[in-house]
Amino acid sequence: MTTGVAAKVSKGAAWMISSQAIDTVVATLATMVLSRLLLPEDFGLTSLALTLVAILTLLRSFSFDLVLIQRQGATRDDYDTAWTFGLLFSIVIALLLVLVAKPFAVYYKDARLVHVVMFIALTNVLEGAQNIGIVDFRKDLLFAREFTFVVLRRIGGFAITVVLAVLFRNYWSLVIGTVLGQALSTLLSYVMHPYRPRFQTSSWREIFGFSKWNAVNSVAHAMSLRAGDFLIAKLGGFAGLGLFKLADGIGFLTSSALGAPVNRAVYPGYAMTAHDRPRLRDAFYRVTAFNALIVLPAGIGMAAVADSLCKVALGEQFQAAAPLIAVLAIRGLIHALVSNVPYVYLALGKPQLASYSLIARAIILLPLLWLGLVHFGVFGAACAFTASMVLEIPIHLFLAHQQLDVQVGAFLRSLWRPAIASAVMAVAVRAVTVSWPPPLEKPALVARLIALVLVGVVTYVVTVLALWALSGRPRSAERMVIDGARERLAAWTGRTENA
């Protein structure tokens, strides 16, 4: 990346991480509140309906936004064509959902699914109508606007769902909250961007030429993730699926809250420098190192405090989620590390490479998932998801080596200091956990959790800085974080003094 682009991407990553941090806080609050108002069965019923919607939504999963970002010279016709087909596909999917709702409910022997599926079908139409112009927030590196859009959407959706949960105290609060949350998102897209799409199909060849592989990616992704929901619901029941989805949402925070915003920020920069393979490779190494520095301690720390977290944050009916969270947190951190690689493929205009890895993931996961569910129940399902993610790592490294001459040794060098520091942190947290049994009083439980988190943070920071100093203080991710913190502190101090 050029210096100017790199600076913008760095600021963009900061914006995306900030927005995702707020998003995570709001999502965590929602989980804490809803777990005390609803039952695992409510989460499971809604999750199963959303899984059916997600599977049929594959019919429009062409990721037109990624096409528009990758095509630096995209025209208005390209934007309008992408919006038109997105909306048309969404309407068709909504009609299909209405048709399959009854057979789906019969298969799972629960008549409630009929109306739930039909109602959630509205989200597809609303999402398809969303303003395509907001793609420019990422394409033009306008991350402050993206930040505002994401935060307003999440806070609004949270408020709506919590109010409905207080009123209804059942699964309908989740169902209606999903629809109204998407309606809010669509409304915000038109308020925050002046672009007004119109019906147009003239650029369909250009759009679909790139997007067909994005559709394959989505199908493979759904097969490796969503198909598991059908198996869990059938073999573990709605309560088992609800428990798994709640644990997966918490355990996956490492990837969604930390890895995902970085990837969203760096992809436009990757696309701008895709013509220069050495620069793109160097950028990939830097992003991997930065991701490792933050996601390794977050994921391992989440696993270490999973039991205490459940006791504090969730209701009594969700205490069985603790071991699931511990296992799925490891899956989340691995996903956060490897999910950067497909963005390189997309920047290079080779989305089919991402398809290959996702298809491999599905082939690996589904047999493991079946065996895990049959022999170990929902906990076995969690182990299967994590194991399949581990087995996916060499596939990504092989493809990255082919395309960018990424070396395994260089990749591992970006991980070793955070990995060792995270291991030391886990030992320290475990020692405190064993020596300090969980008290019965809730305030004492909260204090214990805060103490465990502080022990983990201090141990990790001290250890990783010590290892960095012993390594000769290289210009690495640690240096980037330190320099960034100094710049922000200097800017804040300057503003304070001026005030």
How many Å apart are CA 289 and CA 281, to the nearest integer? 12
Q: What angle do CA 67, 52, 56 make, to 5 degrees?
A: 40
Residue 186 has pLDDT above 90, yes or no: yes
Model confidence at 5, pLDDT cuts 50, 70, 90, reads very low
- Answer whether residue 403 shows pLDDT above 70: yes
Q: Is the pLDDT of residue 154 over 90?
A: no
Buried b (16+ CB within 10 A) or exposed e, 274-292: beeeebbbebbbbbbbbbb
Which residues touch 300 (CB under 8 Å, ≥6 apart)?
Answer: 329, 330, 333, 422, 423, 425, 426
Largest CA distance in the chain: 68
pLDDT, mean of residues 77-104:
87
Determine the distance from the C-alpha atom of residue 445 to the mean position of all C-alpha atoms in its chain, rounded to a whole number.
Answer: 29
Q: Which segment of 25-34, 110-119, 331-340, 422-431 scores lowest on mean pLDDT?
A: 25-34
Nearest Cα neighbor of 304 from 439, 464, 428 is: 428
pLDDT at 384 > cutoff 50? yes
Q: Could you tell me which of 438, 462, 417, 423 has the C-alpha nearest to residue 304? A: 423
Residue 381 · residue 236 · CB < 8 Å: yes
Tell me what pLDDT residue 4 has. Answer: 47
Percent of residues, the chain, with pLDDT higher than 90: 20
The Cα 48–Cα 381 span in angstroms is 16
Rounded CA-CA distance 294/288 in Å is: 10
Q: Does the pLDDT at position 112 exceed 70? A: yes
Q: Classify 260 in phi/psi space as left (phi over 0), alpha (psi -120 to 50) or beta.
A: alpha
CB atoms within 10 A of CB 7: 13
* Of the candidates 74, 65, 53, the residue with the CA atom closest to the CA atom of residue 351: 65
Ranges 66-70, 244-248, 406-410, 460-464: which has the least confidence? 66-70
| pLDDT above 90: residue 148 | no
Mean pLDDT of 61-67: 60
pLDDT of residue 417: 92
Find which of 48-62, 87-101, 471-485 is predicted with most confidence, using mean pLDDT.
Answer: 87-101
Amino acid 460: pLDDT: 95
Confidence band for 184, pLDDT divided at 50, 70 and 90 = very high
Give the position of tokens 């597809």: 124
What is the model's pLDDT at position 464?
A: 94
Dihedral-angle region of residue 237 (phi above 0 means left; psi in -120 to 50 means alpha; beta otherwise):
left
Q: Is the pLDDT of residue 24 over 80?
A: no
Contact 1, 269 (CB under 8 A): yes
CB neighbours (10 Å) of residue 149?
A: 19
- The 10 Å Cβ neighbour count of residue 467 is 16
Q: What is the pLDDT of residues 311-340, one digit of tens each?
A: 887 766 778 888 999 999 998 888 888 877
Examine the pLDDT at 205 and tell me if it is beyond 80.
no
Burial of 38 (0-12, 13-18, 19+ CB in 10 A): buried
pLDDT of residue 2: 47
**Residue 16: predicted pLDDT:** 56
Checking if the pLDDT of 370 tops 50, the result is yes
- Domain map (residue ranges) of the chain: 3-414
**One-letter identity of residue 476:** S
Across the chain, mean pLDDT equals: 80
- C-alpha 301/C-alpha 326 separation (Å) is 9
**pLDDT at residue 215 tops 80:** no
d(CA 337, CA 317): 32
Task: Please return the burial class of 73, using the count of CB atoms within 10 Å of its CB with bins 0-12, 13-18 and 19+.
Answer: exposed
The yes-or-no verdict on residue 6 having pLDDT over 60 is: no
- Which residue reads 């190494």 in tokens? 285
- Quick one: which of 50, 360, 26 has its CA closest to 224? 360
d(CA 86, CA 351): 19
pLDDT, average across residues 400-422: 86
Whether the Cβ atoms of residue 362 and residue 377 lie closer than 8 Å to each other:
no
Phi and psi of 350, rounded to 5°?
-125, 65
Q: How much is the pLDDT for 401? A: 85
498 pLDDT exceeds 50?
A: no
Q: Which parts of 108-142 fold into alpha helices (H)?
A: 112-128, 136-139
Total Cβ atoms within 10 A of residue 177: 23
Angle at 40 between CA 39 and CA 43, to 5 degrees: 95
Mean pLDDT over 14-25 rounds to 61
Window from 18-27, 80-89, 377-386 with minimum mean pLDDT: 18-27
Helix then strand then coil, % of the chain, to nearest 5: 85, 0, 15
